[in-house]
């Protein structure tokens, strides 16, 4: 019998938030990719849209500014997503999604520090 695996959900990511009406916002995600649950996002300064927080670049998205709560497919066009933009909130560090092709341990630690400055704490939680 084949084993079934369930994709990550918001429950795997979000461990605590003080008030969803305060910590969450609806944002526009830049077209071109499918965003997974827990995607660490940066805000593009020129457009105000969010995309994966890249370690390089100078468009503003290199600074972690939000964590995506639900998967969003924005491969063909800009899409709307629900994110945590401020704390107090605790997320599972293991459930965060980042660009593994460019993010090494030091860059991930920097992003976690940027999230912590927003009140979003990433912990190793079960």
pLDDT in tens, 62-118: 899 999 999 999 999 999 999 999 999 999 988 888 766 556 677 888 888 999 999
**DSSP letters for 2-70:** PPP-PPP-HHHHEEEES-HHHHEEEEEEPSSEEEPTTBEEEE-TTT--EEE--SS-SSSTTSEEEEESS
- For residue 16, pLDDT over 80 is answered with yes
The pLDDT of residue 20 is 93
pTM of the predicted structure, to 2 decimals: 0.89
């Amino acid at each position: 019998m084949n084993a079934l695996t369930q994709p990550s959900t918001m429950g795997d990511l979000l461990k605590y938030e003080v008030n969803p009406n305060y910590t969450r916002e609806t944002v526009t995600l830049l077209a071109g990719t499918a965003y997974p649950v827990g995607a660490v996002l940066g805000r593009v300064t020129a457009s105000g849209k969010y995309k994966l927080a890249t370690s390089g670049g100078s468009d503003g998205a290199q600074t972690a500014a939000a964590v995506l709560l639900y998967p969003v497919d924005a491969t063909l066009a800009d899409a709307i997503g629900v994110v945590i933009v401020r704390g107090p909130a605790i997320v599972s560090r293991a459930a965060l999604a980042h660009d593994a092709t460019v993010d090494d341990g030091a860059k991930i630690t920097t992003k976690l520090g940027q999230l912590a400055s927003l009140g979003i704490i990433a912990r190793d939680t079960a």
